[in-house]
Amino acid sequence: MKTLASLKTEKRLNTNQKMKDFLTGKTLTVVGNAANHNKDIGTKLTIGAGTSFVSNNSSFSYPYLDGKKIGLTFYYEDVSVEYEISADALKAQVESLTADKKRITEEIAEAKSKLAFLKETGVERFSETEYKTYMVMEKLEDEKLTKLERAKAIAKLIDG
């Protein structure tokens, strides 16, 4: 079992809908009472499809649970969730993380390139226009590339 606080970060449950979708059909176990919800430690709450749900960065509220008015607020660290994950879900998670890694790697490479541009040119303030112009010039001077490769590289720079 993991606390909902750790799962929120791990599974990127960063919107109300994502949190509700993740919790629907699962059973929560109360492990703390920071929000003074007056539920005994160990109490189990099953989140049904019709559950009214409101979430924020640190807590969630259930005005109604399984059709009964309860009006409870729980901090994420006050509940734990037992869950199983399928091979398909793990595969999707790996694909998503791989895409994130690729995007972040590209962002890092771009930031390093911009820093190198500043250092090489001695410019104090970064200008996107100057940077793109400089990169176009570098591509034009790169004799390792064919004309078509240069054109594609320059088009990619221009498109941003």
d(CA 2, CA 80) in angstroms, rounded, equals: 5
Mean pLDDT of 101-110: 94
Mean pLDDT of 103-122: 93
Say which residue, 112 or 33, is predicted with more confidence: 112
**Res. 66: pLDDT tops 60:** no
pTM reported for the whole predicted model:
0.47
d(CA 18, CA 22) in angstroms, rounded, equals: 6
Could you read off the pLDDT of 84-96 as tens digits, one per residue? Answer: 677 887 888 789 8
Domain extents for the chain?
2-81, 87-159
d(CA 92, CA 86) in angstroms, rounded, equals: 10
**Res. 124: pLDDT tops 60:** yes
Q: How many CB atoms lie within 10 A of CB 140?
A: 14
d(CA 136, CA 155) in angstroms, rounded, equals: 9
d(CA 124, CA 143) in angstroms, rounded, equals: 29
Nearby residues of 30 by Cβ (< 8 Å), 6 or more positions away: 37, 39, 40, 41, 42, 43, 44, 45, 74, 78, 79
d(CA 50, CA 38) in angstroms, rounded, equals: 23
